[in-house]
Amino acid sequence: MDGFGSDFSAGGSSGKVDTGTIMEQVKVQIAVANAQELLQRMTDKCFKKCIGKPGSSLDNSEQKCIAMCMDRYMDSWNTVSKTYNSRLQRERARM
């Protein structure tokens, strides 16, 4: 036996695929990937904006800039996400 079936079995010996479990795992993986992408983009943009000369530590103004930049980025991300989700719901309601 090659062992591929064991990753997708629903427990027991029936060998049936539990699509609900797989869908939940996929949703979790997508959420993690989205969070990683958000963090990476936010880090890149705020670093470029706030850090003029990288050194061993951040001075007070760089710390404040980073904090404000991240807050604004998160607020923007949340606004876009809410708008996108409401638009998806309206489109689904039309179907």
Gap between the Cα atoms of 46 and 69, Å rounded: 6
Residue found by looking up tokens 């939940």 in the block: 24
What pLDDT, on a 0 to 100 scale, did the predictor assign at position 95?
Answer: 85
CATH class as words, domain 19-94: mainly alpha
Whole-number pLDDT of residue 15: 60
Closest CA to 71 of 53, 50, 55, 51: 50
- Nearest of 17, 3, 74 to residue 41 by alpha carbon: 74
Tokens of 2: 């090659």
pLDDT for the residue numbered 30: 94
The tens digit of pLDDT for each residue in 17-76 reads: 789 899 999 999 999 998 999 899 999 999 999 998 889 999 999 999 999 999 999 999
- Report the predicted TM-score, pTM, of the whole model to 2 decimal places: 0.63
